[in-house]
Amino acid sequence: MKIVKNTDKIIKNDKPDISDRQAEEAIRTILEWIGENPKREGLLETPRRVIKAFKEYFKGYTQDPSSELKKTFGDVEGYDDMVLQKNISVSSHCEHHMAPILGVAHVAYIPNKRIVGLSKLARTVEIFSKRLQTQERLTMQIANALTEGLDAHGVAVNIDSTHQCMTMRGIKKEKATTVTNYFTGKFKEDLSFQNRFLRYISHKS
């Protein structure tokens, strides 16, 4: 599947540019490059398995977050305060080393007359996570997609994660974590909303 993308959106084309067979051959080349024998029994199926895994790791390139946010509900009897979903698991890969990023996201929004199903918040996190990322961009993409898709009065996103490009290679600081925040609308303009959000997510439940 050919994919042309900008920061947040994707355009899909039916004709593939690179076949699974070509991708598997690239994995065999890497196995040889590290000093392995891709023809030995334990590695015969490894290229196929890696490509299958990559399709799962990076499936966000073929998904559109705006389509997940189209269905909203207006029967909320005037509810207009924060909706917060905590501890959404994040599993992504850094674009610099393709090493895993593992952590949690906390997402809140202030409805503008309508709300969205709670699973759609986690789905939005998932879609953007399943791409090569920097944590800073990931945080912003989630917030901006929810702000636009829900026409929300404000959105807050916090991600706390471990980058294995830091823990397993390079500086090798196993306990280092990275925290990013991004706020839109009322969360950005009104510190009382921002402070409530940060207080709620810091409370262990």
User: 119 and 40 share a domain?
Assistant: no
Q: What is the pLDDT of residue 203?
A: 81
> Residue 158 above 80 pLDDT?
yes
Give the whole-number percent of the chain exceeding pLDDT 70: 92
Q: Is residue 92 part of a domain?
A: yes
Q: Which of 68, 93, 106, 135 is catalytic?
A: 135
- Structural domain including 122 reads 71-202
Taking a C-beta distance cutoff of 8 angstroms, is the pair 116, 73 a contact? Answer: yes
Active-site annotation holds for 106:
no
Q: Is the residue at 47 inside a domain?
A: yes
94 in catalytic set: yes
Based on the domain organization, do 45 and 142 belong to the same domain?
Answer: no
Q: Judge whether 41 counts as a catalytic residue.
A: no
Percentage, residues of the chain above pLDDT 90: 82
Known active-site residue 163:
yes
Banded model confidence at residue 33, pLDDT cuts 50, 70, 90: very high
* Same domain, residue pair 27 and 94: no
Does some domain include residue 63?
Answer: no
The answer to whether position 62 is within a domain reads: no
Instruction: For residues 142 and 192, state if they share a domain.
Output: yes
Is 90 exceeded by the pLDDT of residue 78?
A: no
> Which residue of the set 36, 63, 95, 164 is catalytic?
95
Considering the domain architecture, whether residues 195 and 129 belong to the same structural domain is answered as yes
CATH of the domain at 80: 3.30.1130.10
Tell me how many domains the chain contains: 2
- Within a domain: residue 53? yes
